[in-house]
Structure 1
């Protein structure tokens, strides 16, 4: 049986911290993450549910439908995805996704995978962050 040797965690993967319920919405099909600034990173990202849960979005029908019956863990990595693009929609054009907000940058996510169990992690941050090898393992 052969084994695959991956490069150190900081070289091929990043983490992204997202407040709930948005992190769980991504696991349920939300294909963009709205951010105030562009990101240059492309590749694999760990989806980290931050410490806070925003209550107002829970009343939005799109969000409520996406998270129905799902737990909203916080302070844990709950999935992984491939970040394929970052853009802003051009003025006067239709949004790139039903999840896209106007006048912000859209991180386009693909190949989203939910972890079988949340991995507790207390060290998220706003921009892309480098996970430790221990977390990736």
Structure 2
């Protein structure tokens, strides 16, 4: 994958609690579960928030990510959001019933997390942040 080439207005950010951000960036999680849908399709910066989802201890797939250091308050990956569909049963091992499934492809882990504050919802990053992410990906 090459670095995102669209202008900053065409890139979004999504803050995930840990260990979900790490599971996307360093694992096999390619579906993010949300209570809401989006029509947006395109590049998304994956931001590791400051919070931890304690219910993750109940999920065997998540435990390995809880047992190692987790970046917080930083962009950890970038991926392409290609689909968003309602729960249709068993989509992937990471899919949660009753949630909207946001499907990501072309995921790239940054060689180092980029500190950033993040936000709720699907947010628009600054042009400076997008440029910093491109720089990290380009030199990976």
Give the alignment partner of residue 127 of structure 1, picking from 115, 121, 134: 121
Q: How many residues align?
A: 127
Q: Once superposed, which parts of structure 1, at least 4 consecutive aligned residues long, lie more than 4 Å away?
A: none
After superposition, the C-alpha distances for 1:25-66 in whole angstroms (9 at most, x for unaligned) are 11211010000010111011000011111233135211123x
**Bigger Rg over Cα:** 1
Question: How much has 1:88 moved relative to structure 2?
Answer: 1.0
Corresponding residue number in structure 1 for 2:135: none
In structure 2, stretches of 5+ residues that fail to align are: 132-140
After TM superposition, the score normalised by the length of structure 1 is 0.84
Cα distance in 2, alignment partners of residues 102 and 59 from structure 1: 15
Question: How much has 1:71 moved relative to structure 2?
Answer: 2.8
Corresponding residue number in structure 2 for 1:117: 112
Question: How much has 1:68 moved relative to structure 2?
Answer: 6.9
After TM superposition, the score normalised by the length of structure 2 is 0.83
Give the alignment partner of residue 12 of structure 2, picking from 1, 11, 14: 14
In structure 1, stretches of 5+ residues that fail to align are: 1-5
After superposition, the C-alpha distances for 1:67-114 in whole angstroms (9 at most, x for unaligned) are 277531111001101100000133xxx411111111110000111111
Judge conservation of contact 1:48–1:79 (CA < 8 Å) in 2: yes
Corresponding residue number in structure 1 for 2:72: 74
Corresponding residue number in structure 2 for 1:38: 37
